[in-house]
Amino acid sequence: MISLVEGGPPREFELTAEQAAALVAAGAVRISPGPRAGLWRIRDNGYVGAATIGGVEVRIRPKMPIDRLLFLLGYSRSVRGWRQEEVDAGEHQDLLPALAHAFARAAHQALGQGVLQGYLEIEESSQVVRGRMREADQVRRRYGLPLPVEVRYDEFTVDIAENQLLLAAASRLLRLPGLAVSTRRMLRHVLARLAGVSALVRGMPLPVWHASRLNGRYHTMLRLAELVLRGRSYELDDGTAIRVDGLLIEMWRIFEGFVTVALSEAFQPYGGRTALQDWRHHLDHGKRVPLRPDLVWYAIDPDGVERPAAVVDAKYKISTGPDGHNGDLYQMLAYCTVLGLRRGHLVYAKGDAEPYLHVVRRAGIEIMQHALDLTLPPTELLAAVEELAGSIIRHGANSGLIPVGPR
């Protein structure tokens, strides 16, 4: 077993050439030759979680507390994701057992109120008319014979998308190692409650569900279930799919999602409009070089025209390369130039970067570097995001686009 800590120093492990090749292909860790044959230096590569890759069990513990990570994870999934008080990770310190425990508790509590039912559209051949007849199918398939009848009807059943996701997630978690006995007991209870729900077909897309008042008590565990099921595999940049028996999460995606969603909420009192991953902009007139800033905030100018008023890019940590975060600065300079802004904002996790103001020579553009302390309790962290939003608004007020205070 390879046990690592996010951001920690490399550790040495003995591996076969085949095992090392599988780890290199997966990209879940950074691996380099050690001082002798068969010994390899391994460190994290921006992922946290646990997985078995090429016969090697890899566990990467996040540097922040698990409850903080689950908070970021839930907040970044959606503006209406789960609430902090709904996600109970217990006393687990590793991500996979904590996530399994959180899912099992949420499912156990929600199913205790009864299994959700809904209407499912069914098309079948029947000996009796039920619902509506599919006339075109009847003529094409039965050649004028009266029976059986091709019908379509709605059935009130437990075999709906929400329950199928819960069944698949609980089944998958039960197959993974390292779970507490109490967690496994709750997961088996979840499976028993979902009798009559059909299993998902391997390789097929996950069923789609839509948040509503009717399935409100399912929201927390459905978010967790989707996370568990999406962790089965991931694609490399060349399109190669790597099978992962476990769950690995890219921390930069979690941080980016949290910052953009939380900031967009914090901007709401000031009016205007936010665009996440704004893909409409290009560096060149020929539109051959696309730009995609994490967040662009639009406001109305005195002439009543909507214009970009602020641009924000979230960076979980500074690159370990020789140029550090120079690439981040060049990228933000491009954003400001194209959007016509005098100031851009880079948001890092505190500890990897500290607040700093970069003034670009001869360009009149300033790039402000911010740092968020992810170890803060959720309420204090969201307060820090609101303070950051206010700072961005105040600095942009000089442009004449942004109101100085919230409405």
The token pair that represents 381 in the structure block: 């962290």
> d(Cα 256, Cα 102) in Å, to the nearest integer?
23
Lowest-confidence pick of 48-57, 91-100, 165-174: 91-100
The residue behind tokens 């897309």 is: 205
Q: What is the mean pLDDT of the chain?
A: 81
pLDDT top residue among 282 and 145: 282
Quick one: pLDDT at residue 321?
58
pLDDT tier at 187, thresholds 50, 70, 90? very high
What pLDDT is stored for residue 380 in this prediction?
92
Is the confidence at residue 76, as pLDDT, over 70? no
Give the pLDDT confidence score for residue 79 in this predicted structure.
39
pLDDT confidence of residue 92: 56
Residue with tokens 């069914």: 122
What is the pLDDT averaged over residues 303-313?
89
**Least-confidence region, from 75-84, 181-190, 313-322, 337-346:** 75-84
CA-based radius of gyration for the chain = 26
**Among candidates 213, 211, 253, 210, which has minimal Cα distance to 231?**
253
Is the predicted pLDDT of residue 293 greater than 70, yes or no?
Answer: yes
pLDDT of residue 143: 65
Give the strand order in the sheet containing 132-133. 118-126, 149-157, 132-133
- What band does 80 get if pLDDT is binned at 50, 70 and 90? very low
235 has a pLDDT exceeding 60: no
Q: Which amino acid is at 267?
A: F
Tokens of 100: 């399994």
Please write the tens of the pLDDT for every residue from 91-149.
Answer: 555 677 778 888 888 888 888 888 988 877 776 776 666 667 776 766 667 666 677 77
Higher-pLDDT residue of 320 and 87 is 320
Q: 221-234: per-residue pLDDT in tens?
A: 787 888 778 654 44
Q: E-strand spans in 98-171?
A: 118-126, 132-133, 149-157
Of 51, 54, 47, 46, give the one whose Cα is nearest residue 25.
54
Cα angle at 348 between 343 and 350, to 5 degrees? 130
Sign of CA dihedral 66, 72, 76, 82: positive
Domains and their CATH numbers in the chain: 1-61 (no CATH), 63-113+166-230 (no CATH), 118-157 (no CATH), 252-399 (3.40.1350)
Q: What is the largest CA-CA distance in the chain?
A: 84
Average pLDDT, integer, range 197-202: 86
Please say whether the beta carbons of 131 and 152 come within 8 A: yes
Least confident of 22-26, 216-220, 398-402: 398-402
Q: Which residues pair with 320 in a beta bridge?
A: none
Do the strands 56-61 and 47-53 form a parallel or antiparallel pair, or are they unpaired? antiparallel
Q: DSSP letters of 255-293?
A: HHHHHHHHHHHHHGGG-SEEEES--SEESSTT--SEE--
